[in-house]
Amino acid sequence: MTDQDKLRQVRDRIDALDTDILRLVNERGRLAQDVARIKREAGEQADFYRPEREQQVLRRLQGLNQGPLSDETVTRLFREIMSACLALQQPLRIGFLGPEGTFTQAAAIKQFGHEVQLQPLASIDTVFKEVESGDMHYGVVPVENSTEGVVNHTLDCFLNSPLQIVGEVELRIQHHLVSREPSAKTIKRVYSHPQGLAQCRTWLDVNLPTAERVTVSSTAEAARLAASETSAAAIASEAAAEMYDLHLLVEGIEDNSGNTTRFLVIGRQSPPPTGDDKTSLVVSRIDQPGGLVRLLQPLSDHGINMTRLDARPSKQGVWEYAFFIDLLGHADDDRVRGALDAMREQASLFRVLGSYPRVAR
């Protein structure tokens, strides 16, 4: 058998498999439509999007996967299949911190796939408002970065919003120096979001110490500005560089190689337990000696693992603070519910921001 014969034989097998895959994904789409019919007949009010079910689908397949495709690739493939199936049930509108080309857009695509209607919005506050009004079914906002810590504006928006956290997304953030200039030698001004400038501070101090650093609303906006000026650069993503036709002058300039940003999916109703969940709270303690210790003691008493604690001015009075807490477990789990009930008694402000599936890495 010649090499050409061997090649043709393998390609014939690929064609046969593709025929099966096409038939099976369309059969899956019809089943998703059946699910939507069942949900409508059951009078379910919530959106058809079920993050807890999507997590279950992905975790099962990651467990079955024996390669050669990586778990990450399998997750991306089936996320897109579920995105297409969900679009057959209901066109979802997802607001995200824009403009086009931000890392938040990449996080929204990672969570919902490409078959949803993605809407770039001007600010984190606008994302909350558009979801509250119902114009958007869900929103995606940045909440913390592994180098720079929390995004304060996102935490502050929760203080005055009835919305719940529906999910979380983690994105490895690679910052690039992008410009219409052919070389970094001529750069006199660097645009980026405050987090972008902060996450690349050392690189800038060493390589562009005299360049002016200008903070703008997003890394994508920084790329747009850099595209309109000479001797200017932006710290932005590869997607933003492509969008504004900029050169990648230097790739991967973030100071910490594991630089990761965590995003939250916000909506009206938190999903039910999956067995591997997180719960976020905002609480403030009664202002007396040992108040904070007593507030947190129930977590220890019930064996609950707290993964994050951030303090933010509660805006209820000078030096009054609210505490944002993440913990492992779902608010409907017996141990978590017991701890929350005990905390509620010790708190002057107590609100569960949501229980949601832990991110599928």
Q: Which residues bind ligand PRE (CB under 6 A)?
A: 32, 35, 48-50, 53-54, 57, 82, 85-86, 89
Looking only at the bridges linking them, the beta strands covering 232-236 and 164-172 are unpaired
Residue 95, beta-bridge partner list: 119, 139
Smaller CB distance to ligand PRE: residue 196 or 271? 271
Sequence-ordered strand ranges (E) for the chain: 93-97, 117-121, 138-145, 149-150, 164-172, 176-179, 189-192, 212-215, 232-236, 247-250, 260-267, 277-285, 306-313, 321-328, 347-357
Smaller CB distance to ligand PRE: residue 273 or 291? 273
Closest CA to 87 of 137, 42, 33, 166: 33
Closest distance to ligand PRE from the beta carbon of 51 (Å): 7
Closest distance to ligand PRE from the beta carbon of 260 (Å): 25
| Whether the Cβ atoms of residue 226 and residue 234 lie closer than 8 Å to each other | yes
Residue 213 tokens read as 């650093």
Smaller CB distance to ligand PRE: residue 243 or 359? 359
Smaller CB distance to ligand PRE: residue 90 or 161? 90
Smaller CB distance to ligand PRE: residue 50 or 180? 50
Closest distance to ligand PRE from the beta carbon of 54 (Å): 5
Closest distance to ligand PRE from the beta carbon of 220 (Å): 28
Q: Whole-angstrom Cα distance, residue 48 to residue 87?
A: 10
Q: Whole-angstrom Cα distance, residue 270 to residue 250?
A: 41
Smaller CB distance to ligand PRE: residue 84 or 342? 84
Closest distance to ligand PRE from the beta carbon of 171 (Å): 20
Closest-by-Cβ residue to ligand PRE is 85
Closest distance to ligand PRE from the beta carbon of 78 (Å): 8
Rounded to the nearest 10°, the torsion over CA 190, 193, 199, 202 is: 20
Closest CA to 242 of 69, 100, 83: 100
